[in-house]
Each structure stands twice: as structure tokens, then as C-alpha cells.
Amino acid sequence: MDRTAWPYRNALLMAPMAGVSDAAYRIIARSHGAALAYSEMVSVAGLHYGSDKTWDLLVPNDAEPDLAVQLFGADPSQFREATAAVARRLGNRLALIDINMACPVPKVTKGGAGAALLDEPTIAAEIVRACRAGLDDAGSDVAVTAKIRRGRRTDEEVAPFFAQALEQAGASAIAIHGRYASQLYRGEADWGCVRRVTEAVGVPVIGSGDVFSHDDALRMLEETGCATVMVARGTYGNPWVFSGHEPTTKERIDAFARHVRLLDQTGAHMARARSLAGWYFKGMPGAASLRGEAVRCSNANEFLSLAERALVIARAGSDVQPEECE
């Protein structure tokens, strides 16, 4: 992709989510209309030291057309090395390199990574340039983007100025989450900050924060002027957020079962299906009981049996018509 191009205007993207956005999750999202899906955030230090577990996070499954890889760290030289290695390994299946400058978790920020970079615009700009150089080293022309927050501490908004520094360093797009890092995920995301960043830079802006429905995404596009919307927690048990389709109970149960099969096929740890059960079954008849049963499941067959039980409970509650189950 030409580094100056942004082919995802007015599109919805599946956000990078630690412990969530594995290959199965990404395949589900893409099949429901996500224009792009991101890896979990990947440590450049882990890649520097050749960790196989780190590489497992960013190698796309055969069913994925491409993958946006999100990197985190604090050392520009490691970013250059990691970016070149990722570009060489993924080749034309690398959609873009994204730099995490938003994660508020202390174990990330204490090392100067994630949202800690909001206090270090000079270093952040060096990291963008390092990623661009790493891609040049590998002969790749994909975009370098960054995900930021409103600021690190409440009432200290730095996002518009910070985004300008990243643009000048060579970022092709900026994703902005409208909360301060100190808020974690409490309170409301300030979409006004998304608009302020959009007005401050000339590159496309990706809006993020409190997008829980397709209508929310459309409203963010309209109210902020951002080019694209990134959906994170709004995807939990709801891949239809990308299309706006309102699923039936049977469709939700079927999607859970498909997700379980994909976890199994992609070699993911099946414990992840416990969270999926809570998300997909939320608000359904017997949801609390089903969540309790999910905690005791340990393999794909047990989770698929749980899906069958969920359908039986739904039918008994007249929420699903018998002919839907044929």
C-alpha cells in the first residue's frame, strides 16, 4: 500500500485487544464486515529476543487476507528491527504497522511504552521514523500509524499537538481514543477530542471509544469528521456491529459455536471460549446458568455442547421458533 494512501474511509475496523484479538476473533470480525483487523499488541522487545510466543501473536492465519500488526515498546532501535522483521515475514499480507501509544496498563507504561509515550512526543516521533525506516529496510511501503489517547492525565489533553508531531514524523493515520490514560475505561470517551485531532492533522483520523453499535459508529463518523472508526469492546459477542445486522438468538448461538470451532482449529487456548460464552449469551434466557457452565468447560466439544444447551433453553423460553432449529 502506498504509505500516503488510506483505503478504509467510512469503514469500521476491529481494534487490537490484548488477550482477545487472536486469529479466530479476527476471522469472525472480517467475515461480518470489518474492513481490517489488528493483532494483539506485540512487544518489540519480545521480537528482538526471538520469542516464538511473540511471533505467534502476529502471523496471520491462512483464512485471513491480511493483518494490521500493532507493536509496543519504548526503544526506537527495537521498533526499526521489529518492523523490518515483521514486514519480511508477512510480506504482502501485512496491511500496516500500528504503534501502541495508548495502553494505560501499569506493566506497559512503567517501561515507558504505551500511554507513557504521551509524555514523550520527541521519543514517540523517533519511533514513528524508526518504523518507517524499518519498512524501508525490508522494501515495504505499507503505512505506519499510531494509536493514542486524549492525554495521560485527566485535564491534560495533549492529543491534537501530539498527533501533529506524529504526522510530521511520517505517520499515515492516527487513531485516537477519547479518554485519558488515567481513566482506563471509566467514564465516557470524549468524541470532541476525536474532532479536535481530526481538525489538527492532515492525515486520516481513526475514531475510538464508546462505539458499541453500528449506529454509534455512524454517529462518530458524522459528529467528529474522522475517516474511519475502530471498534473494541463493542465487538464482544457482537461481530454484527460491523454490518448493523440485528441477530436472532439462534444466530448468536451459531456464531458462538463457529467461534469455538475456530479457536480449536487455530490452536488457541480453549479457556478463551469462557469469555466468549459470557459475551454471546448476554441477555439470553438462562445466561447466568450458561456462564456458570462455561467456567467448567475445557475443550471444544464441551463448549459446543453448551451451545446446544443454550439453544434448547432458548426454545423452551419461546425465544427461538422450532423451525429455526431445523
Contact predicate 127/114, CB 8 Å? no
Tell me the CA distances in angstroms from 98 to 1, 94, 172, 186, 316, one per residue in order.
Answer: 14, 11, 10, 24, 47
b/e code 284-323 from CB counts within 10 Å (16+ = b): bbbbeebbebbeebeebeebbebbeebbebbbeeeebeee
Mode of pairing for the β-strands spanning 12-14 and 42-43: unpaired
295: enclosing H helix or E strand = helix 287-295
Beta pairing class for 228-231 and 42-43: unpaired
Active-site residue flag, 103? yes
In the chain, where do the E strands start and end? 12-14, 36-37, 42-43, 67-72, 94-101, 143-151, 173-180, 205-208, 228-231
The answer to whether the CB of 18 falls within 8 A of the CB of 264 is no
Q: Which of 103, 131, 193, 297 is catalytic?
A: 103
Q: Kindly state the cell numbers that stand for 251.
A: 444466530
Question: 212: how many CB neighbours lie within 10 A of its CB?
Answer: 15
Which strand ranges, in their side-by-side order, compose the sheet holding 205-208?
36-37, 12-14, 228-231, 205-208, 173-180, 143-151, 94-101, 67-72, 42-43
Give, rounded to a whole angstrom, the gap between the first and last alpha carbons of the chain. Answer: 45
Catalytic residues: 103
